[in-house]
Chain A
Amino acid sequence: MSTGTDLWLGATTKQLIQSKAGYRRRKLSNVVMLAITGLFMLLALVPLFWIIGYVVYKGGQYINLDFFIHLPRPLGMTGGGVLNAIEGTLVLTILASLFAVPPGVLAAYYVVYKPNSLLGILVRFGTDVLSGVPSIVIGLFCYALIVKNQGHYSALAGGIALAILMLPTIIRTTEEMIKLVPHSLREGSLALGSPEWKTAISVTLPAASQGIITGILLGIARASGETAPLLFTALGNENFEVGKIIQAGVANHQNVFAILGRIIGQPVDSLPLTLWKYAQQPYPERINQSWAAALVLMILVLSINILTRVWVQVRANRMQGK
């Protein structure tokens, strides 16, 4: 037991530890492993940069100011833009966030502090199941629930479909983020005689806000890139232009709610939907525009992401007194 001979080719442990050859072998295997991990990291990055590069290359050629400020031209004509899809994407994303964020964040709060209640277990189980439901099924569900009952396609139906899609992401990330808030903060608030709802609004949720916003962004990023659930709900609308609707509303002396109702009450286009439709058409002009639409979609999602992250970081630094 004690001498340690006959461990390896008759060498003692001391000899093994101090041997030059052994040192070189360990050093070499370290270098080899590092090289392998580096290689696979590059491999994993290839698709990312390839996709971004290719989309920028193909789409960049056909992008111009007209593309952002004009509606699509009739088939066979050159020029025109995808203003309808850009505005539609924004309308759908805003609607989806409105429908998904409040219930998602509050449900997550409930799950964190009542994890073992029947409802808490149900919500967590439901969230897992919902995140696995194919997005086209959600679209079909909203078609049956809203479109069929209303009798027409609408941005509202599309927004609800996307909201259902965002919900699991928001609940899951918010739950994790609220769990990270030190328990002592919540206790400190409650010990001052603060009711639970007030504690949630002014202490717990603000302390977790950075992570919650990141979760919401992930949800938005996923939803704004979805096509399938919109096929049966938002449908697409080449004449959708928010500016025109507002102008018409103001001219007819309608109030804000009536105008908003008109905006969300009709079918809208979205960038992924446009991309999908244009790419299938036999006209080179449309295929080129679909590349450009892909680029705009990417820039839109990326800029929402970056801007919010910067804002959240600045706010967090101020909180920490930096």
Chain B
Amino acid sequence: MFTNLESSMTEEKQITPPTLHLDIAPKAETTQLSDKNKIEIREFSFFYGKFKALGNISMQIPANQITAIIGPSGCGKSTLLRSINRMNDLVPNIRMDGQIILNGENVIGSGVDVVDVRRRVGMVFQRPNPFPKSIYDNVAYGPRLYGISHRYGLDEMVYNALRQAALWDEVKDKLHQSAMALSGGQQQRLCIARALAVEPEVILMDEPASALDPVATLKIEELMQTLKETYTIIIVTHNMQQAARVSDFTAFMMIDNPKTRTGVMVEYGPTTQIFTNPKNKQTEDYVTGRFG
């Protein structure tokens, strides 16, 4: 626990403050992403009614890596994230252009089974949102949707999911108690376990630690490092240190101008490069805290 804390703190020191380390060279293989792409976003635009919230976003998200999306409030980070698992479909009067390709299949297309997309792309929300059920029932909720009962090893799936989410040891004796009695950090890891139980390929995290205290945040961040071996993770965060600590790649978004307020991708690349040697002046200003 403490060694982890120390090591992550030293990591942080290496990266921040970025301005002092502008001379650090970016890693060599960095810009070449196309090898093992899980998701490819091509010229993606998003409209709420007449308002263009996202314009011409293109990015390639590598498999088994953590990709962070950062940027000031209202620049469309969450909108982009929620487009990947079609959660924006819940909002009336939306329109999407372009493509978001998951494993070679465009999930934006009209004939796509939204329910299947959401199974393959799990999501963890800003505030822990466990269902008012028992811990076990929370994790079992997803598998049960697909008809998995005790006969098909539901217990084992729940065990595995809780194990993966590093929650098993804390809850193994109270699986049938209410999830609402857990602490905020435990609830968030339960939500991660719940998402893992349906065996997704990608996990979207929308500011997963912003409602948590520093210790719980650290646990979530450690967890992400182990999860990326199995899953592809995309995280939206307001916390630049967090993005620097956990992510392998970072995308910086901003609104194009104050009138239209359309979110655009300013710079996307390996995290070390974005934080130590950004190519764009706006990126540099943002990551060094000069605006935003």
Interface residues of A (CB under 8 A from B): 116, 182, 184-185, 187-195, 198, 202-203, 206-207, 318-322
* Complex contact A191–B131 (CB within 8 A): no
Q: How far is the CB of B44 from chain A (nearest CB, A)?
A: 20
Inter-chain contact count A-B, CB under 8 Å?
75
* Complex contact A191–B178 (CB within 8 A): no
Q: How far is the CB of A312 from chain B (nearest CB, A)?
A: 13
Q: Which residues of chain B from 108 to 128 have a CB within 8 Å of any chain A CB?
A: 115-119, 122-123, 125, 127
Chain B positions within 8 Å of A184 at CB level:
125, 127, 129
Binds A, one of B191-199, B223-231, B253-261: B191-199
Q: How far is the CB of A204 from chain B (nearest CB, A)?
A: 10
* Complex contact A319–B132 (CB within 8 A): yes
Inter-chain CA distance A62–B130, complex, in Å, is: 54
Question: Beyond A198-B145, A319-B180, is A192–B131 a contact (Cβ under 8 Å)?
Answer: no
Interface residues of A: mostly helix, strand, loop or mixed?
A: helix
* Complex contact B87–A185 (CB within 8 A): no
* Complex contact A116–B92 (CB within 8 A): yes
* Complex contact A192–B180 (CB within 8 A): no
Q: Which residues of chain B from 96 to 151 have a CB within 8 Å of any chain A CB?
A: 115-119, 122-123, 125, 127, 129-133, 141-142, 145
Inter-chain CA distance A198–B144, complex, in Å, is: 11
B181: CB under 8 A from chain A? Answer: yes
Chain A positions within 8 Å of B122 at CB level:
191-192
B177: CB under 8 A from chain A? Answer: yes
Inter-chain CA distance A207–B119, complex, in Å, is: 23
A116, A194, A322: which contacts B145 (Cβ < 8 A)?
A: A194
Q: How far is the CB of A125 from chain B (nearest CB, A)?
A: 20
* Complex contact A188–B125 (CB within 8 A): yes
B283: CB under 8 A from chain A? Answer: no
B85: CB under 8 A from chain A? Answer: yes
* Complex contact A188–B116 (CB within 8 A): no
B20: CB under 8 A from chain A? Answer: no
B92, B116, B130, B179: which contacts A193 (Cβ < 8 A)?
A: B116
B25: CB under 8 A from chain A? Answer: no
